[in-house]
């Protein structure tokens, strides 16, 4: 599940905060190596999506 999509497509965290852009990548690696359960992973990803959707309207991809 986690590794089907290239990180640059699913990781939208850098849209609203470039400094945290690799946080989702780190979580994907933790999930991939079994340090995080699938349920935990999905929950955190969902929270990230909500957060980025709230914040991304005024910031474009190009800002990074």
Residue 51 located in a structural domain: yes
pTM for this structure? Answer: 0.36
At residue 48, the pLDDT reads 78
Could you give the number of structural domains in the chain? Answer: 1
Instruction: Give the integer Cα–Cα distance in Å for 5 and 64.
Output: 21
Instruction: Give the integer Cα–Cα distance in Å for 1 and 57.
Output: 28
**What residue numbers bound the domain in which 47 lies?**
7-56
Bigger pLDDT: 1 or 43? 43
* pLDDT per position as a tens digit, 8-64: 555 554 444 444 455 666 777 777 777 777 888 788 888 877 777 666 554 444 444
**Beta-strand runs (E) in the chain:** none
At residue 44, the pLDDT reads 80
Residue 26 located in a structural domain: yes
Which phi and psi (to 5°) does residue 29 adopt? -65, -40
């Amino acid at each position: 599940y986690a590794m089907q999509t290239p990180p640059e497509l699913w990781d939208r965290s850098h849209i609203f905060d470039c400094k945290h852009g690799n946080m989702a990548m780190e979580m994907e690696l933790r999930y991939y190596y079994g340090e995080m359960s699938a349920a935990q992973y999905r929950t955190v990803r969902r929270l990230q999506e909500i957060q980025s959707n709230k914040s991304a309207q005024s910031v474009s991809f190009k800002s990074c």
